[in-house]
Structure 1
């Protein structure tokens, strides 16, 4: 039994030392990873400082957009990293240059419609006639239908009067309707 205990303890001791060695190796790997991350952060900061310095130097080198002559280059203002307000000023200066500030004369909104000439009575009458021509045609058609209906009624009454010997009276007179009177005044 002594042998089995010493074997058990020795195996336990070996396992314990193995676990401690693994923990130490893991800690060493973590420390190395942290150091590597610190180096990468330091390198990234150095690069960002360099790019910021380059951008600041580039922005200081940019000329005043208003001072660029006609046909000059605005390409430096359109690069990445340029201050948006400087870029906006440059584009405003570019589009205000004379070669881009020409109207073609075909813009309908450029005309002045506020001072229109007044129509004469004859011109106004002609415009009204053209606008309401469909309405006049409709009224004329209704008038013709009414006349045809009245004529048909008169013929019917006359035919009934021939069949009836007691009705030797004259057919009733057809009076012009309001639409007929209006149609007569429009034609004159």
Structure 2
């Protein structure tokens, strides 16, 4: 445990996450010594073994889609107990630790999706708390506690091109917005007539 309350390993993310060339250059830091090699400003986030699969949840109003994607592989106890101060670029670490006998495609295929009702509840609560209608977030399943999910990233203006059926979802979202606007305008007209 560090003075800051984080447990190693940690992921170091650039503080500026949009528009910068290095905004997606993440580093895996195994211990306190690795912190000295970082260039601030950064955000540190505790790393949790999660089976090498991340769940990307896309939200467009009331429409929610969850998809599986490859992520960092789990970190072995042997690697955690190393005294080296070496840091790993996340993309390089993933490539080095890919299992020979099980491809990422098989790993992702075998990963169980989180319950849809749970994903919808998280998405709805985040939408209400953030006051956003278009966003996505990344979620992990903690390998130690299979029913524990962690939201690790929120994007307030995401790209939807990788979301399955994104055209249909976005069209439905815009139709919903148009109906809500029409209902709101109709309600305002009725109130004005009643006042007269």
Give the shorter-chain TM-score range.
under 0.3
Compare relative contact order (CA 8 Å, sep 6+) and give the higher one, 1 or 2: 2
Q: Could you say which structure has the larger radius of gyration? A: 1
The alignment's TM-score, normalised by the length of structure 2, stands at 0.21
Higher strand share: 2
- TM-score normalised per structure 1: 0.22
